[in-house]
A and B are shown apart, each in its own frame.
Chain A
Amino acid sequence: MAAVLILLQFGTGLLLKFAYEPHPVTAYSSIQLLQNTVRFGQLVRNLHHWCANLLVLIVFLHMLRVYFTGAFLPPRQFNWVIGLGLFGLVLLANLTGYLLPYDQLAFWAVTVSTGMLEYIPAIGVHLQEMLRGGADIGPASLRIFYALHTAVVPAVFVFLMAFHFWRIRKAGGLVIPRKPDEEFDAPSTRVPTVPHLLLREAVVAVVLIAVVLLMSVFFDAPLEDPANPGLSPNPTKAPWYFAGLQEMLLHLHPTFSVFVIPFLIATGLLFLPYVRYQSDAGGIWFVSPTGRRLAVWAFLGALIITPFLIMVDDFLIGTGRLPFGLPPQISNGLIPVILISLVVLGVYFIATRRFAASNNEAIQTVVVLLLGTFIVLTATSVWFRGQGMVLRWPW
């Protein structure tokens, strides 16, 4: 599915390239021209937009499926890493594509996201200047983002995708799903690729294309007012796939929400397949019945605790400075991060001690906990934040 979407992106992107002018003065009007005068111009732009959004969703779901069926275990460890790279690339593609229309949404989303780089120790400021091509978003930034979006990212995509698929073949195909009590090497009957697999893939592809087409016919890709550096819209919201990060930014000191936590999570994800696991759970959903039960509990726990924490913190911020009179790096950064780490470790130990879980199950519990938290953060930012980033009901 993702591959089909990427192919669609290549196709529509190529078409858009003929209409687009990467300069702050003309970018916005070239998009307007495309939408209003070019035949199917609006449709092509919509397709590109919806494919990009679906791509994030589908790649994310694929990642969850791979994790929860143990398809990242040996011999597929390195392919998990390539997959992470591809996921990062999808996000990068969306981010760089974001600036190109040069409307309000584009300008402020990129101002904020490149603003985050400032908090990376040592190299942050230089990295930011390099990416923006100067101190502020301007003509140079647009040129750089255009080059990244239309040349660098697609080139790396082709390379990484080929690598990804080749590794699947090397590993002897996909992981075969099985029940928890089944033998791993139960001989399975095999069928020829043509026509069985090919037919199924073709059906999926056609249905997917139909869905994207329908979405693009009925829902237009948003285009806001032209970029105005003097006026940040209120509220300024990130696209939904970065919303969880934005919500975290509201609560924690930027060094921690921008650098420390994403760094820890990325490292954690990278090393997931390289942990020495106690049981081989390849192909089993959620490792075992225990794993399944713990996962459900962790998910429910995250769903209940996270909103509560968000509201408490919102109340604390609302009353002015946080208590203790400590510098914000500590009161808003170090202390919460340590508390979160303690909770994570606590959950791990409760899982292993109290429920006699193997480390597969315990680590999975932690992953589910963080996943649930992330989903709640994203939902909060997308639906429950109104003007001035005040918590409110979505209706």
Chain B
Amino acid sequence: MESTRDKEKTEPSASRRNVLSMIWMGLGTAALIEFGWLVFTFFRPAKPLVGPGDRGQEIEAGPVDNFKPDTVTAFPRGQFYLACLQNGGFLALSRRCTHLGCTVPWIEAENQFICPCHSSAFDIKGDAIKPPASRPLDLFRVRIENNIVMVNTADRIKRTAFRDNQAVYAK
């Protein structure tokens, strides 16, 4: 008998204490989450100054006639290669290896881009022809205006394989 009465006496205050401590815990957790979020946003990199499609990032590669079919020209300023395919189509290929980001040089003798880091190879269309790279080189947007090739380096286009509509042709 005595024990049950004791229980009745203590139960309300115990549950009140429970609720209060629950609230405290909840507030603490919320504060922690908020704090964590603050730290996280502090470490988030600043937004790049150029947005997608920015015209300021457009690089003039030169007149169409400067590029012979089946050749690759490097543009170090824009960090890309301008490939002129056999049928005269233009592709602007990023020089960054899709495997781990090394800069791939164009090896004239082998007609391939060969990565010095892990020996991936890409053909003139940017397709990966030798592992470990599993994805073709990224593209930049090419525009031909008044017979002059322009390359927009603001956005990098990822792709899974070369398709003919990726190449840009002079009219």
Instruction: Contact check, A253 vs B132: say whether CB atoms are below 8 A apart.
Output: yes
Tell whether B100 is near chain A: CB-to-CB under 8 Å.
yes
* A13 vs B46: C-alpha distance when bound (angstroms): 29
Among the 9-residue stretches A57-65, A90-98, A224-232, A272-280, the one with 4 or more Cβ atoms under 8 Å from chain B is A224-232
Residues of B within 8 A of A114 (CB): 101
Instruction: Contact check, B48 vs A134: say whether CB atoms are below 8 A apart.
Output: yes
* A246 vs B104: C-alpha distance when bound (angstroms): 17
* A257 vs B118: C-alpha distance when bound (angstroms): 13
Instruction: Contact check, A234 vs B116: say whether CB atoms are below 8 A apart.
Output: yes
Identify which of residues 64-84 in chain B touch chain A, using a CB-to-CB cut-off of 8 Å.
76, 79
Instruction: Contact check, A130 vs B43: say whether CB atoms are below 8 A apart.
Output: yes
Tell whether B130 is near chain A: CB-to-CB under 8 Å.
yes
Apart from A230-B103, A332-B132, list 14 A-B contacts with CB within 8 A: A112-B117, A118-B100, A130-B44, A140-B45, A229-B79, A231-B105, A232-B117, A249-B118, A254-B134, A257-B132, A320-B130, A322-B131, A328-B134, A389-B118
* A118 vs B115: C-alpha distance when bound (angstroms): 18
Indicate which residue in B76, B95, B104, B118 contacts A250 across the interface (CB closer than 8 Å): B118
Mask: chain B, 3-37; 1 = CB below 8 Å from A; 0 = not: 00000000000000000000000000000000000
Residues of B within 8 A of A253 (CB): 131-132, 134
Tell whether A80 is near chain B: CB-to-CB under 8 Å.
no
Identify which of residues 115-135 in chain A touch chain B, using a CB-to-CB cut-off of 8 Å.
115-116, 118, 129-130, 132-135
Number of A-B contacts (CB under 8 A): 91
Residues of A within 8 A of B101 (CB): 111-112, 114-115
**What class of interface size applies to chain A in its complex with B?**
35 or more
Residues of A within 8 A of B115 (CB): 232
* A389 vs B117: C-alpha distance when bound (angstroms): 7
Instruction: Contact check, B76 vs A133: say whether CB atoms are below 8 A apart.
Output: no
Q: Which residue of B lies closest to A237 (CB)?
A: B117
Identify which of residues 233-251 in chain A touch chain B, using a CB-to-CB cut-off of 8 Å.
233-236, 246, 249-251
Identify which of residues 128-174 in chain A touch chain B, using a CB-to-CB cut-off of 8 Å.
129-130, 132-135, 140
Tell whether A317 is near chain B: CB-to-CB under 8 Å.
yes
Identify the A interface with B (CB < 8 A).
108, 111-112, 114-116, 118, 129-130, 132-135, 140, 229-236, 246, 249-254, 257, 317, 320-322, 328-329, 332, 388-390
> What is the CB-to-nearest-CB distance from B108 to chain A, in angstroms, rounded to a whole number?
15
| Chain A binding surface, main DSSP class | helix
Instruction: Contact check, B119 vs A115: say whether CB atoms are below 8 A apart.
Output: no
Residues of A within 8 A of B95 (CB): 230
Instruction: Contact check, A329 vs B134: say whether CB atoms are below 8 A apart.
Output: yes
Tell whether B102 is near chain A: CB-to-CB under 8 Å.
yes
Tell whether B143 is near chain A: CB-to-CB under 8 Å.
no
* A321 vs B127: C-alpha distance when bound (angstroms): 12
Instruction: Contact check, A232 vs B102: say whether CB atoms are below 8 A apart.
Output: yes
Given A235-B116, A249-B118, A389-B118, do A111 and B102 touch, yes or no (CB 8 Å)?
yes
Residues of A within 8 A of B76 (CB): 230
* A254 vs B100: C-alpha distance when bound (angstroms): 9
Given A246-B118, A254-B132, A320-B130, do A115 and B100 touch, yes or no (CB 8 Å)?
yes
Q: Which residue of B lies closest to A114 (CB)?
A: B101
Indicate which residue in A234, A250, A388 contacts B132 across the interface (CB closer than 8 Å): A250
Residues of A within 8 A of B105 (CB): 231-232, 234
Instruction: Contact check, B114 vs A388: say whether CB atoms are below 8 A apart.
Output: yes
* A235 vs B119: C-alpha distance when bound (angstroms): 9
Q: Which residue of A lies closest to B117 (CB)?
A: A236
Residues of A within 8 A of B131 (CB): 253, 317, 322, 328, 332
* A328 vs B100: C-alpha distance when bound (angstroms): 16
* A390 vs B114: C-alpha distance when bound (angstroms): 12
Tell whether B168 is near chain A: CB-to-CB under 8 Å.
no
Instruction: Contact check, B45 vs A254: say whether CB atoms are below 8 A apart.
Output: no
* A321 vs B130: C-alpha distance when bound (angstroms): 6
Given A252-B132, A389-B118, do A229 and B99 touch, yes or no (CB 8 Å)?
no
Q: Which residue of B lies closest to A230 (CB)?
A: B76
Tell whether B129 is near chain A: CB-to-CB under 8 Å.
yes
Residues of B within 8 A of A390 (CB): 119
Closest 8 pairs (CB-CB, A-B): A115-B100, A234-B116, A115-B101, A389-B119, A232-B102, A328-B134, A236-B117, A112-B100
Instruction: Contact check, B45 vs A134: say whether CB atoms are below 8 A apart.
Output: yes
Q: Which residue of A lies closest to B77 (CB)?
A: A230
Q: List 25 A-B contacts (CB under 8 A).
A: A111-B101, A111-B102, A112-B100, A112-B101, A112-B117, A115-B99, A115-B102, A130-B43, A133-B46, A135-B48, A229-B79, A231-B103, A232-B102, A232-B103, A232-B116, A233-B116, A236-B117, A250-B132, A253-B132, A257-B132, A321-B129, A322-B131, A328-B134, A388-B116, A389-B116
